[in-house]
Structure 1
Amino acid sequence: MFRLSALYRYPLKSCMGESLQQARFDELGMSGDRRWMLVDEASGRFYSQRALPQMSQLSVLWKGDGVTLSAPGLGSLDVPVPVDEEANLRGITIWRDTFRVPDAGEEAARWVSALVGKPTRLVHVPKERARWLPSGYGASEDRVGFADGFPLLLIGQSSLDDLSGKVGRPLEMLRFRPNLVVTGAEAFAEDGWKRIRIGGVELRVLKPCSRCIMTTIDPATGERSADREPMTTLKTYREREGDIWFGQNLVSDGPGVVEVGMEVEVLE
């Protein structure tokens, strides 16, 4: 029997992961997941750990009506969800998508600029302004917030165990930033799944997740691995047509609640 062994939420794109026992799903996937983001003040281009490893030390607690930011040396700051009105919108770019979303204001901007070390803005995406999925994937109504391309990521615990064995040391699951972790399946069994059900929530598996340099950042310290692991090892057996695959991207069908310990049923 397969079971859901862990749940993680990342309220702000590229921030610390938040371990959950229960999670609610809405139109954009896991409620509160990657609805906030840091952008360059001048260009509106998004920031992530790829360029700013110190973002791994940014803790963001989601509270529904806002978030609490905290980081070493900066204390904490409560930031309410900004008002979605024309005067408050900022043009931003994430990968190939350029659109306008509410800005969280001057106090938040000063705080995140101190973290990043240059003028930075904090922005929020309401569901009405969410992006469509990449062309060719999902259904016409599927949307995503500030995640790279898809709302959810699933990884099998056995897949990580297999990789850790090949690397020769235990690897932290949070290096790979999944939302859902499943136990009981063989390594990389998730590669063959198309639809699953957890509790009353059905999810569609859309495509493998292509991995990048972020997996080499230690989630506890923000430091990059000198040996470029686990990418060095993944490249030896998980590379397909120039991409390195680890984990599966999903979307959820309809609202619902899932809890750690629930059975994961493979429907297709």
Structure 2
Amino acid sequence: MKRTLSGLYIYPIKSLGGIALSGSKVLSSGLQYDRQWMLVDQEGNFMSQRNLPQMALLQVSLQEESLHISHKQQADAGLRIPLSGDSGRLQKVQIWEDQIDALLVDPTADEWFSDMLRVSCRLTKISSDHKRWLKKKYQVNGEHVGFADSMPFLLIGQSSLNDLNKRLATPVPMNRFRPNLVFSGGPAYVEDAWDEFHIGAVPFKITKPCGRCVMTTVDQDEGTKGSEPLYTLSKYRKKGGNVFFGQNGIALEEGYIALGDTIRLC
């Protein structure tokens, strides 16, 4: 059965709204601009929808030379962040078990985000001089990652979501799972058995299944948290104490991919 790339998404600022693309550069650290920025609290700890579901209400759009951030439920002029802009100052940030030096972006951005979220925070940017390396067991060519939870890429089959939605009283959209790569074709969960594959001319490798958390229960349009789809997933996708949905991976080469590209297994 033919498999094609049917969805392509980036999340430039970690835990904020995602952007659907028609094509993207593939870098060793992920899709271009994906999770290159991150909000941190005053101690430098990363912030996410797990504890602040209202972060989902901040929508990011990609413009020619900047990011534009707006609030989905407020008539606010929003915030513009130059793609190349930062203050040049560093702050140690903590993301899971990794502590790295990141660039502080702009005090004006800090103030805007603090007002929107009603909590004091700072906007940081990944530094090319202070890379966040993957764990050795997942590296093939010395890969690194931005501010994604653990891996540069997350792949989900559309059939997998369709199967889940058949089990739910109220179907959920794909944005609950924040994938980078969505494909059509093949049965549900076929991606569980994949190892290496190509999207167009670009080779990828699966590294591990993606464990899911309470972020999947956040409605991305309302910024509210519930119990689904994690509760239903836990009934049939739980293994060793974790609930899995989707596969994490790395790119073995850099390149360019676009919607409609054929996916073939190696």
Q: Is TM (by shorter chain) over 0.5?
A: yes
Question: Which residue identity does 2:50 align to in structure 1?
Answer: R
Q: Which residue of 2 aligns with 1:201?
A: 202
Task: Calculate the aligned-residue CA RMSD, in Å.
Answer: 1.5
1:206–1:64 CA distance, 2 compared to 1 (3 A): farther
Structure 1 unaligned runs (5+)? none
Q: Which residue of 2 aligns with 1:67?
A: 67
Alpha-carbon distance in 2 for matches of 1:233, 1:9 = 26
- Structure 1 position 82 matched with structure 2 position 81: no
Q: Which residue of 2 aligns with 1:243?
A: 242
8 Å Cα contact 2:86-2:106 kept in structure 1: no
Q: Which residue of 2 aligns with 1:121?
A: 122
- Structure 1 position 22 matched with structure 2 position 23: yes
The percentage of counterpart residues that share the same residue type is 39
Q: Which residue of 2 aligns with 1:12?
A: 13
- The alpha-carbon deviation at position 140 of structure 1 amounts to 5.2
Post-superposition, which runs of at least 4 consecutive aligned residues in structure 1 deviate over 4 A?
none
- The alpha-carbon deviation at position 129 of structure 1 amounts to 2.2
Question: Which residue identity does 1:116 align to in structure 2?
Answer: L
> What is the TM-score when the length of structure 1 is the normalising length?
0.93
SS of residue matched to 1:75: coil
- The alpha-carbon deviation at position 63 of structure 1 amounts to 4.1
Question: Which residue identity does 2:257 align to in structure 1?
Answer: V
Alpha-carbon distance in 2 for matches of 1:20, 1:126 = 24
Deviations 1:91-110 (A, max 9, x none): 11111111111101211111
Greater displacement, 157-166 / 20-29: 20-29
- The alpha-carbon deviation at position 75 of structure 1 amounts to 2.3
Question: Which residue identity does 1:238 align to in structure 2?
Answer: R
Q: Which residue of 2 aligns with 1:185?
A: 186
Q: Which residue of 2 aligns with 1:148?
A: 149
8 Å Cα contact 2:140-2:252 kept in structure 1: no
Alpha-carbon distance in 1 for matches of 2:191, 2:87 = 38
1:169–1:83 CA distance, 2 compared to 1 (3 A): closer
- Structure 1 position 257 matched with structure 2 position 256: yes
SS of residue matched to 1:136: helix
Question: In the comparison of the two structures, how many residue pairs are matched?
Answer: 262
Greater displacement, 203-212 / 94-103: 94-103
SS of residue matched to 2:122: strand
Structure 2 unaligned runs (5+)? none
8 Å Cα contact 1:127-1:145 kept in structure 2: no
Alpha-carbon distance in 1 for matches of 2:16, 2:9 = 12
